[in-house]
Amino acid sequence: MKFKILVLITALFLSSCATIVSSSTQGISFVSTPKKADIIINGVSRGRTPAVIDLKRKKQNYKIEIEKEGYESHTVFIDRKINGWVWGNILGGGLIGLVVDYSTGAMYKLSRDQVSIELEKQEIAFDLDNDNLIIMTTLNPKPEWKKIGYAE
């Protein structure tokens, strides 16, 4: 009798494969060059690079923005996909496990484990600072910039 109860309890716990092997969150590593860039996730500031931030697997999508003053900002998207451990539930016939994995979000895996960004220096053609015109030059003009005083 005790053996049957032990087998039943073990089967219930092992039927949620993804929950046992994976948690409901996934640690994502954020690295940037230069360091100490702001990490903004779905519009909320979550720290500075380098950092490891736990994101919920159940959430549909994440919009990640990496920003640092004087540099071009960079946007990355992280999506979710089915965690391979869920197939253990299907093969093992664990309907309870599927429900547990779904409710905790462990049945999903985020599309990236790391976000590594090299930010480009922001090139400013001109800037108004305290009613003064500051003119800067660059060797790499962007095609969309308006050309002033340009002779062909």
Confidence of residue 118 (pLDDT cuts 50, 70, 90): very high
Average pLDDT over residues 32-38: 95
In a 13 Å sphere around the CA of 98, the CA atoms on its Cβ side amount to 9
Question: What span, in angstroms and rounded, lies between the C-alpha atoms of 116 and 47?
Answer: 15
pLDDT band at 15 (very low <50, low <70, confident <90, very high): very low
**Around 28, how many Cα atoms within 13 Å sit in the side-chain half-sphere?**
26
Pairing of strands 132-135, 126-129: antiparallel
In terms of average pLDDT, the best of 53-57, 85-89, 95-99, 139-143 is 53-57
DSSP category for residue 15? T
Average pLDDT over residues 80-95: 62
Q: Which helix (H) or strand (E) holds 78?
A: strand 74-82
Per-chain mean pLDDT for the chain: 74
